[in-house]
Amino acid sequence: MSTLVPPHGSRTLKPLLLEGKALGEEIAKAGSLKKVPMTSRETSDLIMMGIGAFTPLSGFMGYDDWKRCCDSYQLPSAKNLFWPIPITLSAEPWLADSVKIGEEVALWDTETDALMGTMKVSEKYVIDKEHECKQVFRTTDPKHPGVQKVMEQAPVNLAGPAKVVSESYYPEMFKGIYQRPVEARKLFEERGWTTVAALQLRNPMHGSHAYLAWIAIEVCDGVYIHQLVGKLKEGDIPAEVRVRAIDALVNKYFRKERVIQGGYPMEMRYAGPREALLHAVFRQNYGCSHLIVGRDHAGVGDYYGPFDAQKIFFEIPPDALVLKPLPLDWTFYCYECGAMASMKTCPHESKAVIDENGQYKGGARLMLSGTLLRKLMSEGKPVPSEFSKPEVIAILKAYYDTLEQKVEIKLHGHATGEAKK
């Protein structure tokens, strides 16, 4: 019997993805159904339901669940089960008007122009979007990327039980890294793990992330390095490059039997504390007993205090989740301590100075900015090994070099006038 944590609010995972004969039949039936286009966020949420990562949700939420989820983290339709962020589907009014209650519709991904699932519409309703934003994002600022998506979504919500027929390009494009909760659980069980800490990553894994992973291994059986392979912002490093960099780090600096890497398809909302709670819900579904919550988890800009995402775990009811947070302070390398350290352990407050040639010039805490890091790499100058291991730097540098070659080619195209044709 599994000794892992149970899925959220359920004894078993509840994936909505169909298989075998049922899958073929549903796809055939969908051909005659009205198409409801989904935003990229809605598509990624549907896939999360498909793979059971959003267990026990059975489809997109109705009004009562939306309202109570916003106001008190509860789903009335599931005995007031804890749930931190509404999972909803929007539609234009003309389309919503044309759909009858009880009618089945085809859920369509506009980005790939593909059928993703079907839903039996049980409810149509209009929400107060500003209210949702205030509750979920703690702001209605239209510049916040999560707020922007809610404000831009179509005005009517459609709810109902869904069936999922596709995981889109994820299994193929992210082969070897994309994982469903059932697969992650199997890997944990094969290693005999009971306690597993999830390390959320959406950027390359540097020294401070490695430090968090080592701490997690000290207190749990293993660490699950869980990367976002969903949509990225421009300028972010592609998942494939990040995966290779993590492999390089794990192969040389970790006990391999204590680390598993995986990827998940959810789009970031940048909802800070609320999103940390959603990350906790689906990590529990993946079989993790702990979630590492560092500084400004799932935040963007300066909308959230650096430790709001840790505090919120102590504001929700104690029985809301089986998974527990592993709150860790801001971590860095300290030249005075001569070790990795955190704000909680290190008494040396000065910042380390690294000059334009990558040379250490004095000071204590090393917090290398992304801009300086990229400048050093593009100029072939050394990056302090205290910040990131040479194996990681080499992989990132190779990636940036290919980008620069592309930029050069493009500039050349402009110079010859080819770009205008």
Catalytic residues: 202-203
Instruction: CB nearer to Zn ion: give 256 or 361.
Output: 361
Q: Enumerate residues 291-350 that contact Zn ion by CB under 5 A.
A: 334, 336-337, 346, 348
Q: Which tokens sit at 103?
A: 């009618």
Instruction: CB nearer to Zn ion: give 281 or 364.
Output: 364
Q: How far is the CB of 337 from Zn ion (least distance, A)?
A: 3
Classify residue 125 by burial, with Cβ atoms within 10 Å: 0-12, 13-18, 19+: middle
Instruction: CB nearer to Zn ion: give 100 or 344.
Output: 344
Q: Which tokens sit at 20?
A: 């075998």
Cβ–Cβ < 8 Å for 229, 144: no
Q: Buried b / exposed e across 282-301, counting CB within 10 Å, b at 16+? A: bbbbbbbbbbbbbbbbbbbe
Cβ–Cβ < 8 Å for 230, 109: no
Instruction: CB nearer to Zn ion: give 33 or 337.
Output: 337
Q: Which tokens sit at 412?
A: 């050349």
Total chain residues near Zn ion (CB under 5 A): 5
Instruction: CB nearer to Zn ion: give 247 or 336.
Output: 336
Query: How do beta strands 196-201 and 104-109 pair?
Result: unpaired
210 part of the interface to Zn ion, by CB under 5 A: no
Instruction: CB nearer to Zn ion: give 82 or 333.
Output: 333
Q: Enumerate residues 149-188 that contact Zn ion by CB under 5 A.
A: none
Q: Enumerate residues 364-403 that contact Zn ion by CB under 5 A.
A: none
Spatial CA neighbour of 181 closest among 52, 4, 12: 52
Q: How far is the CB of 265 from Zn ion (least distance, A)?
A: 39
Q: How far is the CB of 329 from Zn ion (least distance, A)?
A: 13
Spatial CA neighbour of 386 closest among 331, 333, 337, 330: 333
Q: How far is the CB of 364 from Zn ion (least distance, A)?
A: 5
Q: How far is the CB of 333 from Zn ion (least distance, A)?
A: 9
Q: Which tokens sit at 63?
A: 């009004």
CA dist., res. 299 & res. 308, Å (int): 10
CA dist., res. 106 & res. 119, Å (int): 7
For residue 99, which phi and psi values (nearest 5 degrees)? -95, 130
Answer positive or negative: Cα dihedral of 196, 197, 200, 204.
negative
**Residue that has been written with the tokens 């300290």 in this structure:** 334
Q: How far is the CB of 204 from Zn ion (least distance, A)?
A: 24
Residues forming the site for Zn ion (CB under 5 A):
334, 336-337, 346, 348
